[in-house]
Chain A
């Protein structure tokens, strides 16, 4: 066997995508399955992103179990399935701008800031131009973020393995959880509550002891809670329950959407691009930096990107240019570049540490765990001279991401501009369909009604969490990380010869733990500082 260098792994990864099994042939040209799945994923993503009430998370939740049952459980299934999810992730950020600009209803929460300038532009008859600006900025931000991911993830992983021992790894997971709890959803108390509930749920029926703990001796709980059921329940069903109740209260109809006639030139000129490029650049850096930290979502990135862009714009704009909030193309650019550049960077902690930072990452980890053969984490990046199949998968993923970006640059823009009609689908018809589809696809994967009941129960939990303004994200991430935390802590404890203070003995671990406490304490103080 010849020795494999880093470049060989890159080539193998590209091959895994483009020379993989053939899905079908188009005009005599064989289309590899991964390429086909990325494309379908991207189109699906744009569609669900453009449909108010749907989003990337719902699309991932419904499609994952179905895809797994189609592609099976061997490692050949990894790239097509993960490629599809990445396509959805990228497509939905782009698609979210469509209803935001055309109808002032953001398709995804991240796109809210887009409505501020996008809708005024549309009202002024510049809808198509606004969509083009949103698309250009979104894809630029995304591409930048992916490049940072591809460069940084391997190095970060190697650094982690070189410098972090078991106690430090335990401390790092604790720090991530406390960080997520502190920054998501405004109140650290609610974040900690959500995180704690997630840990409590994942520790049911697991552990090293032979008695299934926390199961009250019942059979139903003794095998633990299926991870898919918990994640889909809290994230998707909970959101659907809340939406349905809102609809029921408001009896909103979706009629009355005005169609505005287009006025003037809709093309995106080089001069326009030059005007918005500085905003895209800043926002892309902001979004990427925020995305690399676990738990801070694209909504915050969009807000900060918008605010930063606004400050710059207020200083430099010509007097007759529209200011932010009145239809400034720069506003759309600043928002869309920021929220789209989160997604690539979000995979840095996933691939290099195995720690998911947002819901899309949770689904990628879920896919990897269900299919098997790929365990995201630092050990993936071992450039062994004999073949390390997990590293090939990583480079395959990178290839799929770059390919998805190319698609997004080319057909994505055309496609998204044709989707305005989706905003007219009445939610009261859409949501029950989505609800049943979610449960059906869950059953497809688990083939057990108990999973459906679990999901239903966690859906109710997700409903109440949303009603009490508790973010479900810390819950989900704690659920995903819980067993890793326990295992690593156990191992660190035995590795240090049974030292109960293993978390405080090494300087790095102690710093992580101090930071974990500090993050909570500092975010507790913030509201007081504001009111003072």
Chain B
């Protein structure tokens, strides 16, 4: 399930600095359509639009964002499939789209698109309002065992499976509510429509303000803002969510365009600016992996998805 991002970062940075040189040689043959697989106004959407804005400012490219949401990013993948491969169409998805979502939907292969680069990881956490009084995920399980109906908001199929497995391993039931985007989970928590939910980083502000609390990390490592929060693996969940945000292009994308765009995006997210600040605040900092490295990790993510799908179907 896991992508070895940490190990890859160093290599990726080297790879990126190598491509910067000929990035200047490529200019897009027209305005670049940026397909965004996330609901407007959410954290991922904001990230994509900030990147678009800075690409325009730094390179003089014209970038037109377009929302193609739904089906865990597969709608966006479909939009990319038929687009011209000359660099005039790129899309922002998550690694999960090409891994778990594609595998569980039996909707093609990761090679249906050309991975360009990742931009950031996530701070995937189980989140609740502080007013609930829960400190860790264990408190939620206790509440469920005491007979309370627990509504669990998730924004992707994989997170739904994780929530299901977490309940199953602890002998309880959650009412799992699937919504579009982390922003919708936050709204659901705030409105009292949900008790707990997953947040990929959008919760950072509310956690800092003390309005929300991170009950557990869904990643394989502790959360940056709540280092003391337990990992889901401590509750018998043997899967983790290592999703990263990434850009992809149409299949068989022009190599010069791909490298130039990867370098430009890497530059935007790693050097000082609005996008970098946003990513650092919400998603624990930039994570840039591109080229063959990214292709390999996306493929292995896809191949290893079967285990979770199997566990969640039992």
Contact = CB atoms under 8 A, between A and B. Distances in A.
Interface of A: 72-74, 161, 165-166, 169, 206-208, 210, 219, 222-223, 369, 371-375, 378-379, 382, 384-386, 390, 447, 487, 490-491, 494-498
B154 to A, nearest CB: 10
Given A73-B64, A161-B191, A223-B78, A491 B40 contact: no
A1 B92 CA distance: 32
Contacts of A219: 82
A495 B193 contact: yes
Contacts of B205: 386
B28 interface: no
A498 B149 CA distance: 12
Contacts of B74: 210
A74 B49 contact: yes
A385 B41 CA distance: 19
A194 B117 CA distance: 46
A72 B66 CA distance: 11
B261 interface: no
B138 interface: no
Given A223-B75, A372-B49, A498-B175, 7 more contacts: A223-B79, A371-B40, A372-B65, A373-B45, A447-B64, A494-B178, A495-B193
A379 B191 contact: yes
Given A210-B71, A372-B67, A495-B175, A166 B45 contact: no
B53 interface: yes
A266 to B, nearest CB: 50
Interface string B77-120: 01100100000000000000000000001110000000000000
Contacts of A487: 179-180
B107 A385 contact: no
A390 B190 CA distance: 15
17 contacts: A73-B52, A161-B192, A165-B192, A166-B177, A208-B178, A210-B71, A223-B78, A223-B79, A371-B40, A372-B45, A375-B183, A379-B191, A385-B209, A386-B206, A386-B209, A495-B151, A495-B194
- Chain B interface, >50% SS class: mixed
A166 B40 contact: no
Contacts of B149: 497
What are the 4 tightest A-B residue pairs by CB atom distance, in nearest-first order? A372-B40, A210-B105, A379-B187, A494-B177
A491 to B, nearest CB: 5
A73 B65 contact: yes
Contact of B49 (A73, A222, A369, A375): A73
Contact of A384 (B46, B52, B177, B209): B209
Contact of A206 (B41, B70, B209, B211): B70
A84 to B, nearest CB: 20
Interface residues of B, number: 44
Contact of B211 (A371, A384, A495): A384
Nearest to A164: B191
Nearest to B195: A495
A382 B211 CA distance: 12
A33 to B, nearest CB: 17
B71 A496 contact: no
B23 interface: no
B68 to A, nearest CB: 7
Contact of B68 (A223, A371, A374): A223
A199 to B, nearest CB: 17
A96 B178 CA distance: 47
A252 B149 CA distance: 68
Nearest to B205: A386
Interface of B: 33, 40-41, 45-46, 49, 52-53, 64-65, 67-68, 70-71, 74-75, 78-79, 82, 105-107, 149, 151, 173, 175-180, 183, 187-188, 190-194, 205-206, 208-209, 211
Contacts of B208: 386
Contacts of B178: 208, 490-491, 494
Given A372-B49, A373-B41, A495 B64 contact: no
B150 to A, nearest CB: 10
A497 B148 CA distance: 12
A122 B284 CA distance: 69
Contacts of B40: 369, 371-373, 375
A491 B49 contact: no
Nearest to B194: A495
Contacts of B191: 161, 378-379
A373 B46 contact: yes
B203 to A, nearest CB: 12
Chain A CB within 10 A, most for which of B53, B67, B187, B208: B187
B177 A495 contact: yes
A371 B68 CA distance: 13
A490 B176 CA distance: 11
A498 B177 CA distance: 10
Contacts of A378: 191
Contacts of A390: 41
B107 A165 contact: no
B255 to A, nearest CB: 26
Contacts of A169: 193
B16 to A, nearest CB: 26
A74 B56 CA distance: 13
B190 A382 contact: yes
Nearest to A76: B53
A374 B165 CA distance: 35
B268 to A, nearest CB: 15
Given A210-B107, A223-B75, A447-B64, A379 B70 contact: no
Chain A CB within 10 A, most for which of B52, B106, B175, B206: B175
Contacts of B183: 375
Contacts of B190: 161, 379, 382
Nearest to B157: A208
Contacts of A496: 175
B132 to A, nearest CB: 16
B107 to A, nearest CB: 5
B298 to A, nearest CB: 19
Contact of A491 (B65, B107, B177): B177
Nearest to B53: A74
Contacts of A373: 40-41, 45-46, 49
Contacts of B177: 166, 491, 494-495
Contacts of A384: 206, 209, 211
Contacts of A382: 190
Contacts of B52: 73
A382 B75 CA distance: 31
A229 to B, nearest CB: 14
Nearest to B102: A210
Contacts of A371: 40
A484 to B, nearest CB: 10
Chain B CB within 10 A, most for which of A73, A490, A497: A73
